[in-house]
Chains A and B, each alone.
Chain A
Amino acid sequence: MTYKTDEIWEDKWVNTTCGVCYCGCAAKVRVVNGVPVKIEGINESTMGGDGPGLCGKGTAGLMYYHDPNRIKKPLLRTNPEKGIGVDPKWKEIEWDEALDIIATKMKKIMDDDPNKILFTNQTMRASDGPHNHPYFYAQAFGVKNNGNFIIGGGSLHCGNACHMLGGLIHGAWSIAPDWRYTKYVLKWGSSKGTGSGHSAMTNARLRADAIRRGIKEVVFDPMGNFAGGKATEWVAILPGTDTAVGLAIANYIANTRGEMDILYLKAKTNFPYLIREDGTYIRNAESDKPLIFDSREGKIKEYDDKTLAWENCALDGEYEYKGEKVVPCFVPFKEHLKQYTIEWASEISTVPVATILQVAKDWVDNAQIGSTITLEGKKYPYRPVSSVTFRGSQGHSNGIHQVAAIDLMAQLVGAEDVPGGTLGWPAIRRAYPGGNYEQTCKAGKDGVIVPSVFYSHDPWPVHEPSLPATNMGCVDVWTHCTLSHIPYVDEMEYIHEKFGMKSKPEMIFGIAANFIISNSDWDTAIKNFKDCFVVQNDLWVNETDQAIGDIILPDVSYLEKDCWSSEIDAFFFSGSPSHENWYVHMQQPVAKPIGESRFFMDVYIDIADRCGVLDTFNAKLNDYYGVADPELQIKPGEVLTWKEIGDRFLQWIYGADHQKVQDQGYATWNKAIEDVYWRWDIDTRCPVYMEYLIHDRRAMENIFEQTGFDVEGLEFDLDQYSPLPTWFWPESHKDLDNEFDLLAFSYRDILHTNNTTFQNPYIDEVSKMCPYTFTITLNTTMAYERGLKDGDIICIETKAGVKETGIVKTMEAQSPKVIGIAGQGGLWADGRPIAKGKGANFCKLLPSKLKYFDPIAGNMETAVAVKIYKV
């Protein structure tokens, strides 16, 4: 068997960026006679797996190009009826006609109220094209804030609470352990380094080296599969109870052992800030700055007073300021922790007392408080412990407190953005040598970090909740939502009415989102969106398109995409959190677009032009990249393609090297070690004591009182607006009773990204070789006791009466009180025959009442009380 070569007239490799999940690993594609035939990573790049490594689903990405089910022409719904199970009766139309209909519609709505147009993106698209652009595209139409984004999976599959605290603490979208120097990692409902999360394969590569080196990795998770199954120790925990264990460990550190990184607490947190009785900061009347007691001088000073040395910031004591009794907020904080004993946490979480105690001890012992490490000639505090979370543990109605508790143990030992600790990823994006695009974080109000680039809106400074709500997502009220949950809430109309939201959505302009089936209860999603005129750019007709789509525009897959911008501003999705050189990859087309498909950025430009807002959009683009060279700016009246814009902007971003960068498909330059371990170099303080929530609570109470909002009826838990990380029962647990006695939860399978991967035949066939991917997992003993066995078809039913069927697969490594479903199966769109009928859908089981959402960040409760029975 040898390669036949006589008929080959082209055989080349094209460097690009993987677009199968949001991580955007370096990828190169082999093209033979115009046909893409193989995908690998790029050996030279640290962005992604080891050497030319790429994960299975990235490798399988080839099939996005070859799928005959891709739509090739714009489709128009001719059946005015919408809903699941209704045939849209698609009619193929010409691009011109489609864009004409869309622009006419948009112009009409714009003239009335642009906030009536919703825009979507989906998480996968982060690596698959422009990143923040849909947000300021919407602004070009006059849309206010970020509340008009109904991102597919933005609640269930993304991490509002994680991102909020990631931003406030690390100035970063996400966090990762410093694999290279850490010794002890705790993962809570997260698979960082074992297949999921941002920069998934970069982390997997770094983690593999760490595990080989002998680090200990303890995973708290309801199941021992992707993360737990690879951990040095898997600890079964009930979903949503991580706060309890985290607080008990924090209590052990702060009160039982009393071993903390005191200098860190004094210098890098807001713990020394003085608070009055009601918990709020006392502030200097003029500068409005919080105050700290200088223990050397015995004087109260502004927190950033130049004469205030770090070691003199008092963490204890009681003082008087202008007649008021004040204390450092660490005093009540430490006292508050005392109620959280290990025995108490064990009862809630089902984690044995001995396990929690051992982890707590190991944590403190491994933290090496006081130790230092010298890297590249520079001395850093060395704290080789890291505690990280992501979608799993933060996806609960107590999400903020989950994340705060998990972060707290790292705060107490000073393991934040120092070697061995938890790293923000990354907080700083330096410019290419000779280039111009640089994003650095800075200290903001009260010394809290303001992230350099963030998705949709900055977590700091916090905007005060205000009325009226101007958009569907009501982010004027829920100011901490990275992406709003309100569009998926059953009581949306009531909320809109109470908060004076006048812009009832009339149109959705989306990019391949599948928000009908990928968030929560499908009926609510249909109810909330079906009256809109829905336009989507998509590869296939997905479930959302089939149920409510009006016009579907054929999009190019990442393999056909010419996208110079894909990772320039997405460094916190794709970059390495470790001290490795910068790599920024472009998406270069490896083949011609399928059918008449067009890159959505060019469609964006075309529609903006037709609607008369292109100049505004172009001005925002100039501004976003900070293009100061008039030669390179897009000028009023110019209509450029995305590629033409890139030809100019890349000159700005990469300077003289722009051609070289374009030729090789990526840019690489040195990352300074200071940009990785920046904690002690940038003068900021972590708001561990969440004082801002006291003010938010007051504002919310005002709003509720003013509008007569039925706080009790809707069971809105204002108590969660607490400055102290506190234990709150997740809503799903409150629903448990004798009949609905199990908690269903979902997890990320390494093979799948949301639901697009279900349509990939390579992934489909290996998914069948995985015992759990397409099945519903039950603990073996629990299943046996209920008379269930492998292969049985069961129905899962929620208290709201929502049902989903699936096939049982038993496993030992799962808590007996839960059932697990991987990702977003249970698909039914006719346009995706490979995906159809595979797996079970978890999202639909999630109830959509407001009380099931975290009252602060809007995180959905992603566990649900269910009963199961054989069908």
Chain B
Amino acid sequence: MPRWGMVIDVKRCIACWGCSIACKEEHFLPPNVFWNRVLIGERGKFPSSSKLILPILCNHCSEAACVEACPTGATYVREDGIVAIDDEKCVGCRACLVSCPYQQRTYYDKEVKDREYFPGQGKTELELIGEKLYPFALGTVIKCNFCTERLEDGIKKGLEPGVDEDASPACVNICPVNARVFGDLDDPNSKINRLIMEHKGKQLRPEFGTEPAVYYID
């Protein structure tokens, strides 16, 4: 069984936000809900300051704080390493949301559901069809799922996640500068493991002991 992971090459990233927006389209996310974001900051003083760019998403931690906090078992780590949410079990206590050091979860309630991309002008066809195609359960927590559906459909068709477009996460596909690589962390020969080894990949905030499946190289 593979353990899915991702490498984000910060050196390549130009902060175009393709990942964030493609993710919104893939999952029909309402306004102000992001499963992918880009953090922009800076370090140092003029004239030797530098711009900081950090694309972030759910880290699919193997020691996930959210899984630990969940009182119902709705949030769990799948065999393939994906941290999933069973929305039929979620009571909406938001313990997971508060516990995540990366703040990658969103509570989906009526206020979120009712948001409109064109405020006061009603929902667009896009938003309406999204609610049918990719419905979320009210009163539950939602987050990045590494595009589980794409992965599973792709694998069923005999495609390889991280290689074939139809078996890879939307953010990986959309990245115009190939800053995202997806693959199997358990396979020592996978491209992501090679990148992690070669460029000394780092996990985000390892001090929380969460063991993220997303690595950063610079």
Contact = CB atoms under 8 A, between A and B. Distances in A.
A762 B170 CA distance: 16
A811 B22 CA distance: 29
B5 to A, nearest CB: 19
Contacts of A228: 51
A725 interface: no
A457 interface: no
A205 B18 CA distance: 13
Contacts of A226: 14-15
Interface string A85-99: 000000000000000
B136 interface: yes
Contact of B134 (A3, A60, A201, A234): A3
Interface string B84-100: 01010000000000000
What are the 10 tightest A-B residue pairs by CB atom distance, in nearest-first order? Answer: A49-B176, A229-B51, A56-B17, A53-B176, A812-B49, A208-B177, A50-B178, A66-B124, A208-B12, A55-B16
Given A1-B134, A67-B118, A813 B129 contact: no
Interface string A39-73: 11101000011111111111110110011110000
A2 B149 contact: yes
B52 to A, nearest CB: 9
Contact of A212 (B9, B31, B44): B9
B12 A39 contact: no
B25 A43 contact: no
Interface in B1-60: 9, 11-12, 14-22, 24-26, 28, 31-32, 37-38, 40-42, 44-47, 49-51, 53
Given A750-B16, A762-B24, A48 B134 contact: no
Chain A interface category by residue count: 35 or more
B215 to A, nearest CB: 16
A635 to B, nearest CB: 42
B50 A1 contact: no
Contact of A59 (B28, B37, B174): B174
A318 interface: no
Given A1-B87, A68-B118, A765-B31, A53 B178 contact: yes
Q: Which of B40, B51, B124 has the most CB of A within 10 A?
A: B51
Nearest to A1: B87
20 contacts: A35-B125, A35-B126, A36-B126, A38-B25, A38-B26, A40-B173, A50-B177, A52-B174, A53-B173, A56-B20, A66-B117, A68-B122, A204-B176, A208-B14, A230-B53, A766-B20, A769-B38, A771-B40, A811-B49, A812-B49
A654 B41 CA distance: 49
B46 A812 contact: yes
Interface in A190-240: 194-195, 201, 204-205, 207-209, 211-212, 224-226, 228-230, 234-236
Contacts of A59: 18, 21-22, 25, 174
Nearest to A350: B47
Interface of B: 9, 11-12, 14-22, 24-26, 28, 31-32, 37-38, 40-42, 44-47, 49-51, 53, 85, 87, 117-118, 121-122, 124-126, 129-130, 132-136, 142, 145, 149, 165, 170, 173-179
Contacts of A655: none
B174 A229 contact: no
Contacts of B31: 761, 765
Contacts of A54: 18, 22, 174, 176
Given A1-B145, A37-B25, A812-B44, A43 B122 contact: no
Contact of A194 (B14, B20, B124, B179): B14
Contacts of A661: none
B163 to A, nearest CB: 10
Contacts of A194: 14
Contacts, number: 193
B113 to A, nearest CB: 14
A41 B46 contact: no
A596 to B, nearest CB: 18
A665 interface: no
B200 to A, nearest CB: 14
A306 interface: no
A814 interface: yes
A52 B173 contact: yes
Given A53-B175, A204-B14, A68 B21 contact: no
B41 to A, nearest CB: 8
Contacts of A229: 42, 50-51, 53
Nearest to A236: B47
Given A1-B134, A59-B22, A751-B16, 17 more contacts: A32-B129, A49-B18, A53-B178, A54-B22, A56-B19, A57-B17, A195-B14, A208-B178, A208-B179, A750-B16, A751-B17, A761-B31, A762-B117, A766-B17, A813-B42, A833-B121, A834-B118
A203 to B, nearest CB: 10
A33 interface: yes
Nearest to A38: B25
A2 B165 CA distance: 19
Contacts of A766: 17, 20-21, 38
A816 interface: yes
A225 B11 contact: no
A590 to B, nearest CB: 13
Interface in A558-600: none
A760 to B, nearest CB: 9
Contact of A56 (B21, B46, B47, B170): B21
A130 to B, nearest CB: 26
Contacts of A66: 117, 124-126
A195 B129 CA distance: 32
B176 A224 contact: no
